[in-house]
C-alpha cells in the first residue's frame, strides 16, 4: 500500500497502470533534506539517500530506471535501452510490465502519460527549459500510439503565484506558440509570473492529447509537503514513478 502522505494520481488510467509521486515524508534525511530526499546530487549524505530509495523500492515491482536529467527533451525508451547504464534524458517510456520509469523533481513538473488501452506509459521531467525544448511532445510521440488515446496527469510543480521568470522565458514559449502569452502574468521590473500547468496543457494539446488531469499543486508554497529548489537551493528531490502490472 502506498503511504498516505504520497500522491496517487486521480486519473482514469487503466487498472494495470500504476503510478505515484513521493513527498517529503517517509525517509531518514535531516535538515533541508528532511526526510525522503531521493536526489543523489544535492549534497545529502549518500547513505541516507540510499536508504530513502530503498523505502520507495519496497513499493515498486522493480528497481526504477534512473536517468541523468539535464532539463532537455530527450526520451529514453526503457524497452530498448537494456542495461546500458544511466541514460541522459528527461523522459522515459515503456511497454513492458514491471519496468518502472522515474524522474526526480523539486519545482519542475513530473508528467505522467498513458494510453487508454494500457499498453504504454511514460513520465517526463517538465520544467520550463524542457517544455520549451519539446520534452512533452517528445514523450507523447515516444509512446507510439494515437495521441487522441493518450491521457496525462500533471504532478506537483511550482505554482503560478510563485514562479517568477524573466522575459527570455516568455519569449521562448511565445516564439513557438503566440497563444502561450496567456500563461505569463506581468510582474515587477519586467518580470513575469509563469504558469507551468497552463503551459503544459498547451503543449499537450499541440501534441494531440485531449484529456489532461492533475495540477493545482505548488511545491514552493507547500513547504511541509514538497521540496523546492527555488525556496531552498540545497533542496531534496521528490520522485515520480510509473509502471504497468
Question: Per residue in 163-183, pLDDT tens?
Answer: 999 999 999 999 999 999 999
**175 CB contacts (<8 Å, ≥6 apart)?**
none
- List the grid coordinates of 136: 512533452
CATH dotted code for 66-231: 3.60.140.10
pLDDT at site 84: 59
Mean pLDDT to the nearest integer, 124-132:
98
Dist. CA 15–CA 50, nearest whole Å? 30
Domain boundaries, the chain: 66-231
pLDDT at site 188: 86
pLDDT at site 82: 64
Whose CA is closest to 120, among 87, 150, 148?
150
Distance of CA 195 to the CA centre of its chain: 15
The dihedral over CA atoms of 222, 227, 228, 233, expressed in degrees to the nearest 10, equals: 140
Question: Per residue in 87-117, pLDDT tens?
Answer: 999 999 999 999 999 999 999 999 999 999 9
Amino acid at each position: 500500500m502506498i503511504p498516505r502522505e504520497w500522491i496517487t494520481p486521480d486519473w482514469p488510467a487503466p487498472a494495470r497502470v500504476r503510478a505515484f509521486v513521493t513527498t517529503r515524508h517517509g525517509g531518514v534525511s535531516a535538515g533541508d533534506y528532511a526526510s525522503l530526499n531521493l536526489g543523489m546530487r544535492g549534497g545529502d549524505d549518500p547513505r541516507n539517500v540510499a536508504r530513502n530509495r530503498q523505502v520507495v523500492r519496497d513499493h515498486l515491482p522493480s528497481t526504477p530506471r534512473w536517468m541523468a536529467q539535464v532539463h532537455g527533451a530527450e526520451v529514453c525508451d526503457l524497452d530498448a535501452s537494456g542495461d546500458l547504464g544511466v541514460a541522459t534524458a528527461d523522459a522515459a517510456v515503456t511497454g513492458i510490465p514491471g519496468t518502472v520509469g522515474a524522474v526526480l523533481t523539486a519545482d519542475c513538473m513530473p508528467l505522467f502519460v498513458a494510453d487508454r488501452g494500457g499498453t504504454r506509459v511514460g513520465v517526463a521531467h517538465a520544467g520550463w527549459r524542457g517544455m520549451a525544448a519539446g520534452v512533452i511532445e517528445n514523450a507523447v510521440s515516444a509512446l507510439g500510439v494515437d495521441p487522441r488515446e493518450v491521457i496525462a496527469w500533471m504532478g506537483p510543480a511550482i505554482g503560478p503565484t510563485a514562479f517568477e521568470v524573466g522575459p527570455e522565458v516568455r519569449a521562448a514559449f511565445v516564439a513557438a506558440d503566440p497563444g502561450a502569452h496567456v500563461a505569463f502574468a506581468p510582474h515587477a521590473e519586467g518580470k513575469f509570473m509563469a504558469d507551468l500547468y497552463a503551459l503544459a496543457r498547451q503543449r499537450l494539446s499541440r501534441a494531440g492529447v485531449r484529456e489532461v488531469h492533475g495540477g493545482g499543486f505548488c511545491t514552493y508554497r507547500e513547504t511541509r509537503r514538497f521540496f523546492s529548489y527555488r525556496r531552498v537551493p540545497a533542496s531534496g528531490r521528490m520522485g515520480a514513478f510509473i509502471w504497468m502490472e
